[in-house]
Amino acid sequence: MKTEKECEATVASMNFIADHIKKVASELDKGSVTDLVTGIMGSKKIFLMGAGRSGLASRAFAMRLMHMGFNVYVVGETTTPAVQQDDLVIAVSGSGETPSIANLGGIAKKIGSKLATITSNKDSTLGRISDIVVIVPGRPKEDVIYEDYHERRMIGYPQLAPLGTIFEISALVFLDAVISEMMVRTGASEAELKKRHTVFE
């Protein structure tokens, strides 16, 4: 028998995440976004990196950049070429402290390439060494704010966006929005992007 509360957590979670993304959009630093777009458009090659679900967001962005016609690669793939000084490395890391990604960011800087980071933590290891930092707020380390936590406990589900969900989804949406920005700036059409989409499906 169905009840009024059936799938209530699903709907509440989707609304919670959607509201957060709207908040991120309203507070986005447009200067850093412009720097990111300019950096992408002025780079010979672009490299994306991230761990876990943040890595999946970075791969989705790499795919869209490929559709736009850029020379883009995912760090860690066997066919990825060497990073050089005229290249841009983009890291996606909510904490900005993921050891493997922070170490790779340091290597990129030593080589002389430009480093951009999408993160929730500007004062992180990656944030401090990056040339471009775009802040995409996520769930704070100390969990959610007090009122929200108890509100969720009272209605029967303690976490509407567990672990790094908030940052990961917000980063994915932001990076897709960057593609839209670049399409507007370059005059690229959806038909042009579709021509570069894989036929091996």
Residue 196 carries which side chain, given as an amino acid letter? Answer: R
Beta strands in 26-152 (DSSP E): 46-50, 72-74, 88-92, 114-119, 132-135
Compute the distance between CA of residue 167 and CA of residue 127 in angstroms, rounded to an integer: 15
3-state secondary structure of 46: strand
181 is catalytic: no
3-state secondary structure of 60: helix
One of 6, 8, 27, 168 is an active-site residue; which one?
168
Residue 164 DSSP symbol: T
What is the token pair recorded at 35?
């720097």
What residues are annotated to the active site? 168
